[in-house]
Amino acid sequence: MQESDIQVGYIHSIEKFGTVDGPGIRYVIFFQGCPFRCPYCHNPDTWSFGKGEPMTVDMLMEGILRYRKYTSGGVTLTGGEPLAQPEFVLSLIRECHRSGIHCAIDTSGGMPLEGIVDIVDEADLILMDIKSFDASIALERFGIDINNAWNLLDYCQNRSKPVHIRHVLVPGLTIQTVISGGKKAEDYDSFCRVNERLLSGAKRLSGYDCIEKIELLPFHKMGEYKWADFDSAYELGEVEEPSEKVIDWCRRIFDT
């Protein structure tokens, strides 16, 4: 690589043997910086831009190639929001492909499509977290225009780009468990009645052939301790994790 071509990306951390961010065992690179604010975020320390370790593509490739024989799945770029550093991400994916390495992008789906088209075309797999199927909740609680996610999904459909959808099940936020008067849903039908957005979202996703997998991720608080170092309060401290019954109802809705 010529000196004039060197770009610098800001990296939060690296997981060398990841098993939950795409197929196989993967080399997972966490990018520093995210313009969105998910109230259940496990890595709020990745939010700030201008922090992280500055690294070149060559520096990252050195580690990727060193562990290549152990990482059967390839590389996943996550964060933070990797698509907030588009030029660097594109250069890194292209360099991985020169070595025949599979690359997945793990994104919130919140970045405008016009700025990331080249990256989507280059990536082998898109992992997209649909934050909420309610546009107002997505904007007010996550800071995300959900139309950007649907535009990205439409583009992937037109290009036959494989997609894995993720959706976190948070009682009171992304799913509703109370039907009226503080009473909890007691059966599948009552649960469906208060989760019309979830049903419509599942129905809409079913129309995309590019979606290979839908992962429903139960909310948990394992990252809560990280919020102690931030001015923002952890809003979900009193929220209970979804019961197995509720998780099963959600799986039934998505037929997963």
Task: Check if the beta carbon of residue 103 is closer than 8 Å to that of residue 69.
Answer: no
- Give SS3 for 175: strand
**pTM for the model:** 0.93
Angle (deg, nearest 10), helices 86-98 and 57-66? 40
What pLDDT score does 182 carry? 79
Task: Check if the beta carbon of residue 21 is closer than 8 Å to that of residue 78.
Answer: yes
Q: Which CATH number, 3.40.50.720, 3.20.20.70, 3.30.43.10, 3.40.50.1860, labels domain 7-170+203-241?
A: 3.20.20.70
Q: Which range has the worst mean pLDDT, 177-191, 201-215, 225-239?
A: 225-239
Provide the token pair at 119: 């990256």
What pLDDT score does 3 carry? 37
φ and ψ of 9, to 5 deg: -110, 155
**Which of 23, 25, 9 shows the shortest CA–CA distance to 67?**
25
Q: Where are the domains of the chain?
A: 7-170+203-241
Model confidence pLDDT, tens digit, residues 20-78: 999 999 999 999 999 999 999 888 899 999 889 999 999 999 999 999 999 999 999 99
